[in-house]
Amino acid sequence: MVLEILQIVLVIILVILVLLQSPGTSPLSGFGGSQQNSIFPVNSSSNVISKVTAIVVAAFMINTLLLAGLRVRDTKKQSITEEIENQEKSVIPFESE
């Protein structure tokens, strides 16, 4: 429950941080951006927002992996044939009058 709430908070913070960034301040702007912002970052206030965004992205990915790992562990492992047999047993046939 705590990880799920943390995930929602991280998503909201991430969306806000991405919207606050000016165009062209993406860490990947060196690969397709202008020559001015190529590979070497410019020291400015937008650089701080980029670093905070990278930290939030890392926290989001770690939290996502934790949630996925917990879900896999909690799922009941059952083969497809067992699931079909259980479904057939639970189906009530139509009774004709």
- What is the spatial distance between Cα 4 and Cα 74, in angstroms, rounded to a whole number? 15
**Which pLDDT tens digit goes with each residue over 61-77?**
999 999 998 887 766 66
Grouping H, G, I as helix, E, B as strand and the rest as coil, residue 93 is coil
**Which pLDDT tens digit goes with each residue over 38-59?**
455 555 666 888 899 999 999 9
Give me the phi and psi of 37, to 5 degrees please: -105, 25
Contact criterion met (CB below 8 Å) for 14 and 53: yes
Per the structure, the count of domains in the chain is 1
pTM: 0.58
Residue 6 inside a domain? The answer is no
Structural domain of 58: 17-72
Residue 58 inside a domain? The answer is yes
